[in-house]
Amino acid sequence: MLKIAIYSRKSVETDTGESIKNQIAICKQYFQRQNEECKFEIFEDEGFSGGNINRPDFKRMMQLVKIKQFDVVAVYKVDRIARNIVDFVNVFDELDKLNVKLVSVTEGFDPSTPIGKMMMMLLASFAEMERMNIAQRVKDNMRELAKLGRWSGGTAPSGYSVQKVKENGKEVSYLKKEKDADNIKLIFQKYASGYTAFEIHKYFKLKGFTYNPKTIYGLLTNPTYLEATEESIKYLKNKGYTVYGEPNGCGFLPYNRRPRYKGVKAWKDKSMMVGVSRHEPAVDLNLWIAVQSQLEKKTVAPHPHESKFTFLTGGLMKCRCGSGMGVSPGRIRSDGTRLYYFTCSGKRYRQNGCSNLSLRVDWAESKVKTFLEKMRDKGTLTEYYNANKKKSNVDKDIKSINKKIVSNKKAVDSLIDKMILLSNDAAKPLAERIENLTQESNTLKEELLKLEREKLFNSNDKLNIDLIHKSIIQFLDTDSLEEKKKFAKDIFDKITWDSASKELLFFLQM
């Protein structure tokens, strides 16, 4: 008996044309004409695009394919699998390796022959071209909306609502300024005067408004709030925007202002557009430029992740509560010098109720140097290393995890046997259980890899001690702050401060 998985997909379900029901019926008829002994399993993804393969029923079907549950995967057209040539080729190759035949019933190509495989690849290429054409039509539509200054849909920016009006017998959308738009101007004013986004967030929180720091940064870079003048249009063009419309004293509407390629933001990208619209703006160009200047200062010179005042940086210092400890300046003394302190970051940002006191940086550095001078003797280092090495039965943990992975595999096999006897709807809870067990096994395998690495490191303790000892000697023999930072990271995993005992606890790289 031929076991056939019929896969159907449609972005929007309809009752005509290539509906999911029609796709399934045509696929069934195709095989029943050729072979009466067929067993079908139906997989449907309604409302999902072919731009990627992240679809629930498709993923479930491929899981069953991997465990040899089907001889054939049938589709109405190859673009039901994917409209992306890379995705299609990957799926096709995976089915080919598993010796599962892919059949497009309406296009009639046999992928087991060279000409059939070539034609399927060509069809997949055409499907990707169509997807790209659709994307281009969307961009063209955005461009036309930008020229008209119309709202293209979605959630309105803070301070505005969407207003529908009649134009030439059609209902179109524009933005309308609301009462809380005055908050937007105040946000710009405060940031321009030196307030941070976090401080602005706290200010408005006391007044009952919720503007989180991330939202505030989004507001400060959104041309929606900028007044459309000749000067502001020149400014936006200089920043990479294509500007449509003439200056009218109203606000702009941006389109595609955050273009990304391969996950990276594209600066001054030609696809960024703004159109002069009809809504009342919140800020003028002078205030806008003042804010952008403040933002650029932070972009060009961000706060360093590593302090320039100590070699104990890069996350080495830890509070007894588990939080990291950052460097904070003290008051300037009468002689003009300044002390610096390690302060619990959780306490600083009020994330916990930590009562651990701050620690003078110079005192901590002195204690570290004294400790390392003792470790200059390799015998003392070896003794300290062995005394503080993590005590864990790695072999026992590895055996336990392997046992759990095997147990999960047996459970998955049992559930698969049950799924064969159930309908598509009835099998969905079992498929979810299989997915959960598979994810659990993947997590266990990652933990297994860590334990196996730990086992390997444990067998190389002598080499590890040699490397730490070498870094200690280099640390003690250099006066360069940057060199000391590097060697400190090679020596220590972390250093914990407990003000109650007034002690630093040293944890070496194990």
**Domain ranges within the chain, ordered by starting residue:** 2-133, 160-300, 317-374+464-508, 394-453
Within 10 Å of residue 439's Cβ, how many Cβ atoms? Answer: 11
CB 15 within 8 A of CB 66: no
Mean pLDDT of the chain: 80
Q: Is the pLDDT of residue 376 over 90?
A: yes
- In the predicted model, what is the mean pLDDT of residues 303-327? 79
- In the predicted model, what is the mean pLDDT of residues 57-85? 84
Give the lowest-confidence range in 40-54, 101-115, 374-388.
101-115
pLDDT of residue 380: 93
Cα–Cα distance for residue pair 160/439, rounded to 1 Å: 44
Strand-pair category, 492-498 with 503-508 = antiparallel
Question: CA distances (Å), 482 to each of 279, 305, 313, 316, 485, in order?
Answer: 54, 14, 10, 15, 5
Give the lowest-confidence range in 212-216, 426-430, 484-488.
426-430
pTM, to two decimals: 0.40
pLDDT of residue 423: 65
Q: Is the pLDDT of residue 301 over 70?
A: no
- In the predicted model, what is the mean pLDDT of residues 98-103? 88
pLDDT band for position 262 (cuts 50, 70, 90) = very low
Residue 16: which region, alpha, beta or left (left: phi > 0; alpha: psi -120 to 50)?
Answer: beta
- In the predicted model, what is the mean pLDDT of residues 347-365? 79
Report which of 324, 346, 349 is spatially closest to residue 202, judged by C-alpha positions: 349
Q: Is the pLDDT of residue 346 over 70?
A: yes
**CATH fold of 160-300:** Hect, E3 ligase catalytic domain fold (3.90.1750)
pLDDT of residue 415: 79
- Cα-Cα-Cα-Cα torsion 26, 30, 35, 36, nearest 10 degrees, comes to 30
Cα–Cα distance for residue pair 308/485, rounded to 1 Å: 10
Within 10 Å of residue 450's Cβ, how many Cβ atoms? Answer: 11
- In the predicted model, what is the mean pLDDT of residues 92-110? 81
Cα–Cα distance for residue pair 309/367, rounded to 1 Å: 16
Highest mean pLDDT: which of 336-350, 438-452, 453-467?
336-350
Q: Is the pLDDT of residue 150 over 60?
A: yes
pLDDT of residue 294: 82
pLDDT of residue 14: 42
The interaxial angle of helices 181-192 and 197-206, nearest 10 deg, is 140
pLDDT of residue 264: 46
pLDDT band for position 433 (cuts 50, 70, 90) = confident
- In the predicted model, what is the mean pLDDT of residues 266-294? 82
% of the chain at pLDDT higher than 70: 78
pLDDT of residue 473: 94
- In the predicted model, what is the mean pLDDT of residues 201-227? 87
Residue 368: which region, alpha, beta or left (left: phi > 0; alpha: psi -120 to 50)?
Answer: alpha
CATH, domain range 2-133: 3.40.50.1390
Q: Is the pLDDT of residue 290 over 50?
A: yes
Q: Is the pLDDT of residue 152 over 50?
A: yes
**Residue 352 — φ and ψ, nearest 5°?**
-150, 175
CB 161 within 8 A of CB 224: no
Strand-pair category, 264-265 with 260-261 = antiparallel
Q: Is the pLDDT of residue 440 over 50?
A: yes
